[in-house]
Structure 1
Amino acid sequence: MRRRTGRLRTAAAAALFALGATVLAPPPTAAAGSSSALDFARAGGAPVAPDYCQSQCADILPPGTNGNATLMEILAHKLFGTRPAHASDQLAPYGALASGYQSLTDDTLSTFFNDASFGVPKDQIAQVTAPRDDVTITRDRKTGVPHIKGTTRYGTEFGVGYAAGQDRLWLMDLFRHIGRGELTSFAGGALANQGLEQQFWPQAPYTEKDLQEQVDYIEDHNGARGKQAMADARAYVDGINAYIRKAEEGRYFPGEYVLTGHVDAVTNAGATRRTSHTDGIKPFTLTDLIALASVVGGLFGNGGGGEVPNALSLLAAQQKYGVEKGTKVWESFRERDDPEAVKTLHDGSSFPYAVKPARAKGTALPDRGSVTPEPLVFDRTGAAASKGVAPPQDPVKAPKKYRKLEGLFKNGVLPEGSFNPTRHRGMSNALLVSGKHTASGNPVAVFGPQTGYFAPQLLMLQEIQGPGISARGASFAGVGMYVQLGRGQDYSWSATSAGQDITDTYAVDLCNADGSEPTKDATSYRYHGACVPMEKLERTNSWKPTIADPTAAGSYRMQVFRTKYGTVTHRATIGGKPVAYTALRSTYRHEADSIIGFQMLNDPAYVRDATSFQKATRHIGYAFNWFYADSRDIAYYNSGLNPVRNPQVDPTLPVKAAAAHEWRGYDPRTNTSDYTPPAQHPQSVNQDYYISWNNKQATNYDSAGFGNGSVHRGSLLDDRVRALTEEGGVTRASLTRAMSEAAVTDLRGEDVLPELLRVLRSKPLADPTLRAAVQRLEAWQEEGAQRRETAAGSHTYTHPDAVRLMDAWWPLLIEGVFKPGLGGELYDALRTNLAIDEAPSAGHGPTGSHAGSAFQYGWWSYADKDLRAVLGDRVDGPLAAPYCGNGRLSACRDTLLATLRQANGKTAERVYPGDDSCRAGDQWCADAIIHRAVGGLTHDTVSWQNRPTYQQVVEFPAHR
């Protein structure tokens, strides 16, 4: 921190003293020696759960368990850099693995991961809270993770909700408002806040009736488990609300409520009573949980969609090459079932789903130039009229001691680009090795969800022990009635986003109720022959200046039209007749049904082996790949509500809305249909190994989007784990090293640069400058093409010039190779389907900048196939036309040299232009992971690594 003057320190101290005296004190705790909580524990509490992992289960979740901060703590952080206990203590060990993995052993895993055993040893108890007589929340000294133990089912879930309030109240409140499309009304009208609600609400524009119907559906259609699930959810909500009441009474609620104007810090108005100026902390409801679940599902569990952009690129290809050849060219870029794609199931098994029909029927391609996106925002006023940019004005009238907090959230509670559910198609990775290939004879797994880096984290750690529940792991804040990814007594499980196609686009014919000729703006459509009105769903948001965001007031309205075929996304003409394109998602209005599967995963009486694990995950409707390990088996199952389609329909493109093209058994009243049976989902037990990094699941199983070709980041895992398996003797440390090495490797450098260098070296290099540039790239490639520090904390890569050259060269070479042959229109259309690059420093990628996750999407497979064809190598599933040098080696080499010369001339300042966090030219910082502040606390920057956010390392030596 910059040195401050004594005057500033004195003023800050005075402000803190004033706040601390009357506003927000740290929450009271029952210390380790207090009577009520420990008497309960000594009296029995919940019995200690058996733990068959025997200290060989570990996990980590940065930045820290504690995600709440009082106003006093936020102000102290801004002035002095301090943070509450356990807010950031997991970031350093997590970050250190990037430079420390090479010497990792089983004995040193504890340097980078925490013991994930059940319970807390007596000498490690930091505090115990007993919110009811039938539950305790015990926190350990090292991490502060809540270990919830209950003697009744209600008490257990009440404690889970109470602990969630303790750790993530502000975050949960944000996300229930995001899910309802009400973030700006809640947290202010900053551009980023507007963007978030405009991204999420159109995906799930629910009314209160819709939300309640989802609650009722779970309870009414799932027998005893459905009733138990909603009883658990009610207890969970009761626990959250009990914590809110306690926090209000004790005035230790999150300080962001003051900063956003919901609570008056001086009078406590809003917390103890509602006024016209403050609305306090509103109690949670069951429907809030559905709204939260819609955000989580939108981020990580969806698949498919994008059929309109697909249609536009197909039309561009047909315009360029003619219909027949253009379709072949487009299909080669689509790579539906590329034979060279890395697959999770590599045993030759086939699971046909969403395959291309031999003769598609009902495909509804638009007239060229007729497509317009459906407008979302209307009636902007005030700051919203200028797109959220407020004119200069006086600060909010507030006590002077608050002035230093002005602008704390000037960019919104989340920065722009934090989420984009239309592109953010899932992350996470998994590595599992069968016991046949391990040193111990027991399976080994290293896996976890890659959910991004936020402060506080979207996930939260917890252990839950009570009647019918025995698990420890991570859950999404606000929907954490059960552990969603973690371990049971003798097994562990995790997931990766699968992305298979569960969303289709229909073209509905527009009409007018009075029989007049419709235009593209018509708000009625044809359904089974009748002209029926669309349902208009609206959300109006308004905001006023607050201490944290003293921008001008404003308001605007969002509007979505809903049909029996989903929500309207685009309008166009087909054969000159107006249509609306709609998106129909199988999980729409069923966001929370997956609660049944999670309940089963937490139930030790249900999951006892690989088979029962697979049965549990069948009840999860989101598109996920699920992985399992115990002392005997590893297993895999792909979940999702996969609709049964007419086999003559091509799900990659829009289809005409008609009964013949609907999902089989489709009922628009409940948004249900027939679903493919479990046997048709990719699954396996005890394959030699499994890897997953959002790659293709199996042969003939379509992953809905572009980018599953010969080069995929899954290859970084597959190559390493295959080698380990062939060698044998795999340990937890060796598998973690494989993950960690992949996490610091540049995919382009490992899997495409070798072909680029072969083309460049096909003749002697006369230009000494280019020869030196090629030599730098060769040296980097020979040492593993890694983006790794020379030493921990050096903030300098081992091959900085080569990394800079690769970053500068890739977009230039892709354009130079492909744009001349494709033409500008088709090249741009295909870039809409698939971004050309997602290097760590690329802020334009699906995950935004400083997000860790990288190399998920890009044109590396296209470049690889095209270059190998030029070199005369065998290419299975080649592109339908040559591009680099039109297939001539010498001309291709000229293109690569010309683009390399351009790249070599770019300085570090041009390649890494800098942002609010990094100065121009700072390569390490441009890549580095920066936690996106979702509240008043920020965290230290750590070196880039491409790995799960929450991660487990497990090896069970015993079983029940």
Structure 2
Amino acid sequence: MRSRQRPRPRSLRLPAAALASALLVTAALTTTPTAAAPAPATAAANDYCGGHCADILPPGENGNATLADILLNRAFGTRPTHTDDQLGPYAALASGYPGLTEAKLRDFFNDASFGVPADQVASTTSPRPDVAIVRDKATGVPHITGTTRYGTEFGAGYAAAQDRLWVMDLFRHVGRGQLSGFAGGAAANRQLEQTFWQAAPYTEAELQQQIDTIAARGGRATQALADANAYLDGVNQYAKESYNARTFPGEYDLTGHIDPITNAGSIEPFKLTDLVALASVVGALFGSGGGGELASAQVKSAAEARYGKDAGDAVWASLREADDPEAVQTLHDGQSFPYATVPDHPQGEALPDPGSVVPERVVYDATGSADSATTAANGVLPGNLLTARHGMSNALLVSGARTDDGHPVAVFGPQTGYFAPQLLMLEEIQGPGISARGAAFAGLSFYVQLGRGQDYAWSATSAGQDITDTYAVPLCTTDGSPVTTAANSYSWHGQCLPFDRLERKNAWNPTTADSTPAGSYTLVMNRSRYGLVTARGTVGGAPVAFTSLRSTYRHEAESIIGFQELNDPAAVHDAAGFQQAAQDINYTFNWFYADSRDIAYYNSGSNPVRAPGVDPGLPVKAQPAYEWADFDPVANTARYTPAAEHPQSVNQDYYISWNNKQANGYTSAGFGNGSVHRGNLLDDRVKSLLGNGGKVSRVSLTQAMEGAALADLRAEDVLPDLIRVLRSAPVTDQATLTALQQLEAWLANGGQRKETSPGSHGYADATAIRVMDAWWPLVAEGVMRPGLGDPLFGALTGALQINESPSGGQTGPGGGPVSANEAIPHKGSAFQYGWWSYLDKDLRAVLGDRVAGPLARPFCGGGDLSACRTVLLTTLKQAAARTPAQVYPGDADCAAGDQWCADTIIQRPLGGVTDAKTTWQNRPTYQQVVQFPSHR
């Protein structure tokens, strides 16, 4: 079937007449600066990689499209240079990896060597005499070389604005909860700013306070602020020049900030507090963990109601899998790093009364389109950018003792979602005290955040360890009136204090770029000394506010020091220097390192020291006895676990990470780290490479990564259990038998979701894949729901979604989506969150296998094999009968029943230029393949 045309974002439209006139006027007025004569190639500054470093970041480096570019793209399909030239190689690895060779790696990755050969220089720009920005012909990546520190950082800012000015402007407004006032009141814009305001509502004074806190530290912090100021000077210089030359991003025209005919308008200069706002977005998206205590408590309460106190608690604990012995771990040599452990006798827990929890109201005083159900849904950014769970960052590293040439190999990268242009940008920075190439978030690219130095490379995956706690704060009144859940004061150390009311007023008017009528509203968050109010309810009948206390709240900017060190060759010379730099980053990340001699790992984050006996997986009473050690509510600081207690290692035989459990005793923040995790897909493949004395190469490790990227976790690690139960007796129904045989054949073929041939837009084993997509929600519900009962089943789906398929279109109980996250299509990431372990453990127990860390009670058929088999047979027959259109219902991008299209990755547009769909693969966005042959 043919896919329907992708609709353009409404917030970036102009009426047809305006489009035509704007195109003519812009074409006439826009001038292209004359390129400077190509300078000699930038020096390959102390590059020890010897051509063995490669990277990729789709869709392309260039994220700046003028109004003329956008209009020509829409009218004729033409594109600005380097907007999508990395998308094809990135997508092609899905079909090309089986035949990969050392020579063919360059077909799928960029050369990540330092410098640009003379015959590959596309342009040279010198915005100041002390810096040059050389762009290469192949990708247009900026290679910034400065003779002074100021000039180097000025050049980094200038290059960032050349490539991501519009994205930077969007996210500084997101970081202030002001997107609708900047880009229009479309529903998605409002959804995004509301969810961000709930995570990090800052006043301007609080943004400045983060800067003042850094400034007071001196040393590297002083240099970091000087770097940031120089970077901003470069950003603002480019913004000014592009405005005068009419080469600024056309989205400013399309959203009404600059008149496309007269050029009236402006681009507001960037300032230091904008960078803090940007950093807070990154921290909220990728560098936090925990906060699911209310959902966990509701599972616990429902389990107790179902089974009784003791039996219910045992069921809850087994479903939680906080320290599951079968969970795949990054550190597998027996290391133990106890943190956030579950106490035998919890103290201070505050379970909400069933049915009492109500989310805190955020929107007040809505007028006009803010109070209308007919407002356009599309915005300039996805409304679920913050609420959608993020994953897919992964890492595979093998020590030199187990590689082809005796030097470590690493294939690793972060997943920041698929956008056009990307949230990340590529760059090389060479200057006094800085020598690095890699990726950085737009607007924060004064340092490379993930990439390589002269003789080492580093990367990260989101760790998500528990740095966020939920407190049940007693409500009170200051006038002695009866206390209800609507009270605006709370109890703190015997005092009744009013909440800090944080407000953000947003208003918008209709423009030619957004048909949303005029409207306004006020965003409100109430803050206590125990954190932000997220919900209200009762505990033992007493009204409380449930608050979220995150250790990095009001401290997001402080990670600047660690990133500076990672870019400084004097700071990082070996694994120890790398681990020190990672320790200076307070976000929750798993950091990985490789040079010619060593591989290393370090888990970063401001891990608060909790009071003895507190269970970090449940809400806790807001009393001094249960506060973090040395807690200072004014500065939001506490005592944190020392560096030695963070999971870390040097030269383990190999490391893998796919957002999985870190080490023994390092308790998972939420549900889902059990016997089956997508990290197993990496771990199993690396073990296979190393089996029987095998040696690993850049090619074979890349193949292992990509093989896992195309694997269906359910097929590889749970389908064998399902088949064993089904085959425990003859299958007599022909339709069910046929479906079973198709699934068995798919499993024998590798259980992957891959095209029959490159560009075929159809899967091999397509029918079996469709059956599995239809079957998983049915069989998970069929196995678990009867034993759980409806209330516990519903509570558990709130803590951990049932499914995360590539298409995101499968339905759950009652015909709705399995979860809000599962309902997000075309995001690439899959199989991180699901009930894989529950079915795996339960079915193995039914089959009589030994299960370490089993579920506390049997579920499938009540533990009877025959009854369990009946559940599987019934649900499989139901799944086999579902048509492609029922399994893949279609959306704005794909026709119903189009399986391949339902899975496809779409680069969600952040601007006026869109990209083609690409075949599904579960893979990092930015990725490096490195093997250093020498060292300084």
Unaligned runs of 5+ in 1: 4-9, 271-279, 391-409
Structure 2 counterpart of 1:18: 24
Match of 2:778 among 769, 793, 812: 812
Report the CA distance between 1:313 and its aligned residue. 1.3
5 Å-filtered alignment, 1:144-155, equals: 144-155=140-151
Residue 594 of structure 1 aligns to a residue whose secondary structure is helix
Is the 8 Å Cα contact of residues 370 and 572 (structure 1) preserved in structure 2?
A: yes
> What residue is the counterpart of 1:356 in the other structure?
342
- Superposition deviation, residue 578 in structure 1: 0.9
Whether 1:771 and 2:737 are equivalent positions in the alignment is yes
Match of 1:275 in 2: none
What code does the residue aligned with 2:770 have? R
What is aligned with 1:684? 649
**Mapping 1:65-80, distance limit 5 Å:** 65-80=61-76
Deviations 1:832-884 (A, max 9, x none): 00000001001556372101111010001000000000111110000011111
What does residue 276 of structure 1 align with? none
Q: SS of the counterpart of 1:106?
A: coil
- Report if aligned partners of 2:672, 2:833 keep a CA contact under 8 Å in 1: yes
AA in 1 matched with 2:308? G
List structure 1 runs of 4+ shifted beyond 6 angstroms.
Answer: 10-14
Residue 59 of structure 1: aligned partner: 55
Q: Please state if 1:224 is matched with 2:219.
A: yes
Tell me what 2:323 maps to: 337
Matched-pair contact (CA < 8 Å) for 2:192–2:382: no
CA distance in 2, matches of 1:845, 1:386: 22
Q: Would the aligned equivalents of 2:335 and 2:663 in 1 still touch at CA under 8 Å?
A: yes
**TM-score, L = length of structure 1:** 0.94
Segment of structure 1 superposing worse, 547-556 or 281-290: 547-556
Asked if structure 2 preserves the Cα contact closer than 8 Å seen for 1:20 and 1:72, the reply is yes
Q: How does 1:407-446 map to 2 (within 5 A)?
A: 411-417=378-384, 419-421=385-387, 424-446=389-411
The CA deviation string for residues 402-426 of structure 1, in whole angstroms up to 9 with x for no partner, is xxxxxxxx71112343x234x5254
Q: 1:500 aligns with which of 461, 465, 475?
A: 465
Per the alignment, residue 123 of structure 1 pairs with 119
| Residues 1:933 and 2:909 are matched in the alignment | yes
- For 2:351, the equivalent position in structure 1 comes to 365
Of 837-846 and 344-353, the range deviating more from structure 2: 837-846
Partner of 2:375: 389
1:329-386 C-alpha deviation (Å, 9 max, x unpaired): 0111000000000000000110000001121111011122211111111121111111
State how 1:727-738 maps to structure 2 within 5 Å.
727-738=693-704
Cα offsets for 1:774-829 (capped at 9, x unmatched) = 00000000111000001100011010000000000000011111111101110010
2:485 is the alignment partner of 1:509: no
Distance 1:14 1:616, change over 3 A: closer
1 CA distance for matches of 2:44 and 2:868? 67
Alignment: residue pair count:
913
Match of 2:628 in 1: 663
Q: 552, 571, 576: which one pairs with 2:536?
A: 571
Read off the aligned partner of 1:514 and give its amino acid letter.
Answer: D
TM-superposed deviation, 1:11:
9.3
**For residue 100 of structure 1, what is the aligned residue in structure 2?**
96
Partner of 1:7: none
SS at structure 1 position matched to 2:104: helix
**1:591-625 deviations in Å (ceiling 9; x for gaps):** 11100000000000110000110011000000000
- Gap runs ≥5 in structure 2: 6-15, 810-818
> Would you say the 8 A contact 1:623–1:640 is kept in 2?
yes
Q: Do the aligned partners of 1:811 and 1:836 also contact (CA within 8 Å) in 2?
A: yes
User: Could you say which residue in structure 2 is the equivalent of 1:905?
Assistant: 881
- The question of whether the paired residues in 1 share the 8 Å contact of 2:390 and 2:416 is answered with no
Contact 1:12 1:79 in 2 (8 A): no
Cα distance in 1 between the residues matched to 2:562 and 2:83: 31
Does the aligned pair in 2 maintain the 1:29–1:128 contact within 8 Å? no
SS in 2 for 1:215: helix
1:531 aligns with 2:496: yes
CA contact (8 A) 1:505 1:654 kept: yes
| 1:850 corresponds to 2:826 | yes
2:190–2:383 contact (8 Å) kept in structure 1: no
Are positions 1:477 and 2:477 aligned together? no
Match of 2:262 among 247, 255, 267: 267
Give the corresponding residue for 2:12.
none
* Superposed displacement of residue 2, structure 1: 11
The CA distance in 1 between the partners of 2:37 and 2:731, in whole Å, is 72
Contact kept, 8 Å, 1:187 with 1:193, in 2: the verdict is yes
Output aligned runs, 1:591-602, within 5 Å: 591-602=556-567
Deviations 1:535-580 (CA, angstroms, capped at 9, x unpaired): 0011111111122212211111111001111100111112221111
Contact 1:98 1:788 in 2 (8 A): yes
C-alpha distance after superposition, 1:676-706 (max 9, x if no partner): 0000000000000000000000011012010
How do 1:128-527 and structure 2 match up within 5 A? 128-221=124-217, 223-270=218-265, 280-387=266-373, 389=375, 411-417=378-384, 419-421=385-387, 424-527=389-492
Greater CA deviation, 96-105 or 376-385? 376-385
* More off after superposition, 367-376 vs 150-159: 367-376
Asked if 1 retains the 8 angstrom alpha-carbon contact of 2:45 and 2:454, the reply is yes
**How far off is 1:15 after superposition?**
4.6
1:741 is matched with which residue?
707
Aligned partners of 1:435 and 1:461: how far apart in 2?
28
**Which residue in 1 is equivalent to 2:895?**
919
What's the % identity of the aligned pairs?
65
Residue in 1 that maps onto 2:814: none
Residue 537 of structure 2 is aligned to residue 542 of structure 1? no
Q: 2: CA distance between counterparts of 1:880 and 1:711?
A: 17
Q: Which amino acid aligns with 1:446?
A: V
Instruction: Return the alpha-carbon distance in structure 2 between the equivalents of residues 931 and 437 of structure 1.
Output: 37
Deviation at 1:530, TM superposition (A): 0.9
CA positional deviation for 1:517: 2.6
How far is 1:265 from its partner?
1.2
Which residue type is aligned with residue 926 of structure 1? A
1:837 to 793, 803, 823: 803
Secondary structure of the 2:590 match is strand
User: Structure 1 residue 20: deviation in Å?
Assistant: 3.2
Question: Which whole-Å CA distance do the structure 2 matches of 1:657 and 1:584 have between them?
Answer: 11
Distance in 1, matches of 2:608 and 2:147, equals 41
Is the contact between residue 610 and residue 627 of structure 2 (CA under 8 Å) also seen in structure 1? Answer: yes
One-letter amino acid matched to 1:18: L
The question of 1:618 aligning with 2:583 is answered yes
CA shift digits 1:874-928 (9 cap, x unpaired):
1000001111110011100100111111111100000001111100000000001
Contact conserved, 2:284 with 2:386, CA < 8 A, in 1?
no
Residues 320 and 826, structure 1, Cα contact 8 Å, conserved in 2: yes
Query: Which has the larger displacement, 225-234 or 506-515?
Result: 506-515
Question: Using the alignment, how far apart are the partners of 2:23 and 2:647 within structure 1?
Answer: 60
Note the C-alpha offset of 1:728: 2.0
Following the alignment from structure 2 to structure 1, what is the Cα–Cα distance between the partners of residues 863 and 361?
A: 43
Cα deviation per residue 1:404-457 (whole Å; 9 max; x = unaligned)? xxxxxx71112343x234x52544000000011101000000000011100000
| 2:49 and 2:933 in contact (8 A); partners too | yes
Aligned mates of 2:434, 2:368 — CA distance in 1: 51
Residues 1:750 and 2:716 aligned together: yes
CA RMSD of aligned residues (A): 1.6
Tell me, yes or no, if the aligned pair for 1:496 and 1:624 is still in contact at 8 Å.
yes
In the alignment, the residues of structure 2 paired with residue 959 and residue 389 of structure 1 have an alpha-carbon distance, to the nearest angstrom, of 59
Which amino acid in structure 1 is aligned with residue 366 of structure 2? R
SS in 2 for 1:432: strand
TM-score w.r.t. structure 2 length? 0.96
* Amino acid aligned to 1:306: G
* Counterpart-to-counterpart distance in 2, 1:614 and 1:463: 22
The residue that corresponds to 1:405 in the other structure is: none
